[in-house]
Amino acid sequence: MNVVEVRGLRRSFGKVRAVDGLDLEVRKGEVFGLLGPNGSGKTTLIRILCGLLKADRGEATVLGESVGSRSYLMRTGYMPQEIALYEDLTVHENLKLFCGIYRVGKDELMEREREVLTMVDLYDRRGFVLSTLSGGQKHRISLAVAMVHSPELLFLDEPTVGVDPPLRAHFWDTFRKLKEEGRTVIMSTHYMDEAMNCDRIGMMRNGKLIALGTPVDIMRRTGSDSLEDAFLKMCGEVDG
């Protein structure tokens, strides 16, 4: 079953075609990685799928519903590339606010808070005002917020930027656990080691998907011994 289906999707900003005729299917239970250089359209694609941005052309369905409908949003979680939390509220207050938006019941709130804050190893900071946390810690809270309502599908835009290596490994344990539960994770990343952990990856360049498949498939197809090498070769082919 596909949780995301995209056909001929296009979105421009002035003369820049940020997403340029993209076709994509993401299956239920996948950890799907979006790779691509700065400005290749990863964030734009994620924002369209989250209903935050309108496409100019094409069709996209998420969890079986059209992106225009927005009714699927309660079943999805979104961690934006830029942290979008309330700096003057505590960690707990931020989570409570998002629980309200996602209609998490009062009786569930404490349990959900414990679970997601334990996942990001910050349960002991629940009473801290956000502005007093480090950049990496805020990033971790942002991930916790995206998961607070147990979404079926998670969109994570560069979730591990600024996160230290042990915690990155811990995040990956979390992503695998979500997958085991039948949930789907769509994430963008610039880390090739991280991309290797994805079930499938889509490589973007100038708003287009230039490669799609398992990391091993893509390496084999390009005769590369690393994903980084495959990526550079694919980009070279597109440019050349």
Ligand X SMILES: Nc1ncnc2c1ncn2[C@@H]1O[C@H](COP(=O)(O)OP(=O)(O)OP(=O)(O)O)[C@@H](O)[C@H]1O
Q: How far is the CB of 223 from ligand X (least distance, A)?
A: 26
Q: Which is nearer to ligand X, 35 or 95 (CB)?
A: 35
Q: How far is the CB of 53 from ligand X (least distance, A)?
A: 8
Where do contacts with ligand X occur on this chain (CB under 6 A)? 13, 16, 18, 36, 38-44, 81
Q: Which is nearer to ligand X, 41 or 202 (CB)?
A: 41
127 binds, among Mg ion, ligand X, none (CB under 5 to 8 A by kind): none
Q: How far is the CB of 190 from ligand X (least distance, A)?
A: 6
Q: Which is nearer to Mg ion, 12 or 81 (CB)?
A: 81
Site for Mg ion in 56-85 (CB under 5 A): 81
41 binds, among ligand X, Mg ion, none (CB under 5 to 8 A by kind): ligand X
134 binds, among Mg ion, ligand X, none (CB under 5 to 8 A by kind): none
Q: Which is nearer to Mg ion, 48 or 219 (CB)?
A: 48
202 binds, among ligand X, Mg ion, none (CB under 5 to 8 A by kind): none
16 binds, among Mg ion, ligand X, none (CB under 5 to 8 A by kind): ligand X
Q: How far is the CB of 32 from Mg ion (least distance, A)?
A: 16
33 binds, among ligand X, Mg ion, none (CB under 5 to 8 A by kind): none
Q: How far is the CB of 188 from Mg ion (least distance, A)?
A: 6
Q: Which is nearer to ligand X, 43 or 137 (CB)?
A: 43
Q: How far is the CB of 36 from Mg ion (least distance, A)?
A: 9
Select the residue interacting with Mg ion from 19, 40, 43, 153 (CB under 5 A): 43
- Report the alpha-carbon distance of residue 37 to residue 10 in Å, rounded: 18
What HEC string does the chain produce?
Answer: CEEEEEEEEEEEECCEEEEEEEEEEEECCCEEEEECCCCCCHHHHHHHHCCCCCCCEEEEEECCEECCCCHHHHHEEEECCCCCCCCCCEHHHHHHHHHHHCCCCHHHHHHHHHHHHHHCCCHHHCCCEHHHCCHHHHHHHHHHHHHCCCCCEEEEECCCCCCCHHHHHHHHHHHHHHHHCCCEEEEECCCHHHHHCCCEEEEEECCEEEEEECHHHHHHHCCCCCHHHHHHHHHHHHHC
Beta bridge partners of 90: 129
Burial class of residue 180 (count of CB atoms within 10 Å of its CB; 0-12, 13-18, 19+)? exposed
Q: Which has the closest alpha carbon to 159: 5, 33, 61, 38?
A: 33
Interacting residue ranges for Mg ion, rule: CB under 5 A: 42-43, 81
